Structure 1
Amino acid sequence: MTLAVFFGIWTRRIVILACLLFLFSCQANNQPTNNQVQVKVARVVSGQSLEVLGMAEQPNLISQVRLIGLDAPDMRQRPWGDEAKRRLEALIGGAEQIVTLEFDLEAKDKIGRTLAYVLKDQLLLNEELVKQGYVLFVARSPNHKYDQRLERAQQWARIMGLGIWQLEKPMRLTPNEFRHQNR
């Protein structure tokens, strides 16, 4: 690779990065709404799902939660599945931590898990996982509240070559493709 090509690639990345930073800074700050609930994390199951306490009338009842807008690598999809799970655990701070679940239009997925955006100390964890390159953003109707933020976060991760997008060792199959090939 010539020096001119190298600088051309980095110049384009810097320009795109500057545009993304501008778009992120223009994003409205979302205030808490009535469709939120605070729960205690029992455990992180994967890079896209949790078990929580405190959603039902019985405070010790465990509920399954799937993060909206994400498709995390399968746990057998090494090393990506394990890394996504560990990163979500780190963002939450471990079991027994309090997080806020924010709901969109559709409350449950087809297997009965609660669908939610997860916030910890005002940080949207769904977005942070995508932005750091641990999971893919996948829009799923009708839950589109944060689609623009998640799409921008994925663009950021791709441009920066983070996580599953790294140039040296990228994830070759999407989680969906991997699950279909490894049934």
Structure 2
Amino acid sequence: MHMKIILRWMVLLPLASLVVSGCGVPVSGPPAEVTEILAAYPELEGHEYSIEQVKRMVDGDTLETDSGHKVRLIGVNTPETVKPNSPIETYGKEASAFSKKRLTGKTVVLFEDTGNTDRYGRWLRYLFVQGDPRMFNEELVREGYANTMTIPPNVMYSARFLKAEREARTNHKGLWAEAGANASESMKEANQAESSACGGPVIKGNINAEGEQIYHVAEGRYYKQTKAERLFCTESEAKAAGFRKSKS
């Protein structure tokens, strides 16, 4: 029990080298699996992390750990399972089943971005299964089990997730399979509007064919038909990210 407490204290510290106070003796660095993750995702260097065990999956993108923390995966959104007899529910079950099979009972490494928790008190994290340097958030998107949902300030991998989603669309995986195209689009619209941590209608950021970054507010003419590539809670956030307001 004592060793477990020491490990948890150590892994919650930043990844910078540590020195025992007054001794000048270096403390051993991060575990091998963390070093492997940092080699694949160097942007995470210096970000706090913890090692946890997954107790159960709440749904495809939310889990609970043995230590009692609820964790929401950053940057992704799996389909809801609360609409009986709809195609959306089917995809939600598939995403949930995929996450349960991959994560339940597993030891995982959880990295922070900038924001620690959402308004529900859930940890916001990038997740890696111990021994596998691939980010699970990204895997969900690339395999077609989730769409991107970027909410500042946790935007470190927004471009990477968007690229993974485009690959899933191109390869007609999961949500983007021909038979489920209509369902996946309606799912994306519903969840982007309802599942964000903004506490109100989100602002949709879209990049058009000319590369212009344009954002749309809820009362805008093209809001409903816009397929968001970035989400914002306020217009100030959208402008700070380089987007301009739609003229209609």
TM-score of Structure 1 vs Structure 2, range by shorter chain: 0.7 to 0.9
- Equivalent runs, 1:8-19 vs 2, <5 Å: none
Task: Return 5+ residue gaps in structure 1 as ranges.
Answer: 1-27, 54-60
Q: Which structure is higher in RCO with an 8 Å CA cutoff and minimum separation 6?
A: 1
Equivalent residue number for residue 12 of structure 1? none
Distance in 2, Cα, partners of 1:174 & 1:129 = 16
Aligned-partner SS, 1:117: strand
Equivalent residue number for residue 99 of structure 1? 108
Distance in 2, Cα, partners of 1:180 & 1:146 = 21
Aligned-partner SS, 2:79: coil
Matched, 1:75 2:81: yes
User: What is the CA distance between 1:75 and its match in structure 2?
Assistant: 1.5
Equivalent residue number for residue 117 of structure 1? 126
User: What is the CA distance between 1:78 and its match in structure 2?
Assistant: 1.5
User: What is the CA distance between 1:30 and its match in structure 2?
Assistant: 1.6
Distance in 1, Cα, partners of 2:100 & 2:179 = 25
User: What is the CA distance between 1:179 and its match in structure 2?
Assistant: 8.9
Equivalent residue number for residue 161 of structure 2? 150
Q: 2:56 aligns with which of 9, 29, 43?
A: 43
User: What is the CA distance between 1:72 and its match in structure 2?
Assistant: 1.2
User: What is the CA distance between 1:176 and its match in structure 2?
Assistant: 5.3
Aligned-partner SS, 2:153: coil
Task: Return 5+ residue gaps in structure 2 as ranges.
Answer: 1-38, 83-87, 195-248
Aligned-partner SS, 2:186: coil
Distance in 2, Cα, partners of 1:156 & 1:84 = 18
Query: Do the aligned residues in 1 keep the contact of 2:149 with 2:192 (CA within 8 Å)?
Result: no
Equivalent residue number for residue 71 of structure 2? 65
User: What is the CA distance between 1:178 and its match in structure 2?
Assistant: 6.0
Equivalent residue number for residue 175 of structure 2? 164
TM-score in terms of structure 1 length: 0.73
Matched, 1:132 2:138: no
Structure 1 residue identity aligned to 2:117 = K
Q: Deviations over 1:37-69 (max 9, x none)?
A: 11000001111100012xxxxxxx311000000
Distance in 2, Cα, partners of 1:81 & 1:122 = 26
Query: Do the aligned residues in 1 keep the contact of 2:40 with 2:133 (CA within 8 Å)?
Result: no
Distance in 1, Cα, partners of 2:177 & 2:167 = 12
Structure 2 residue identity aligned to 1:38 = I
Structure 1 residue identity aligned to 2:127 = V
Aligned Cα RMSD in Å? 2.1
Structure 1 residue identity aligned to 2:50 = V
Aligned-partner SS, 1:169: helix
Matched, 1:52 2:65: yes
Query: Which structure is larger by alpha-carbon Rg, 1 or 2?
Result: 2
Q: Deviations over 1:83-107 (max 9, x none)?
A: 1111112222x32x10000101000
Aligned-partner SS, 1:73: coil
User: What is the CA distance between 1:33 and its match in structure 2?
Assistant: 3.6
Query: Do the aligned residues in 1 keep the contact of 2:77 with 2:191 (CA within 8 Å)?
Result: no
Number of matched residues?
145
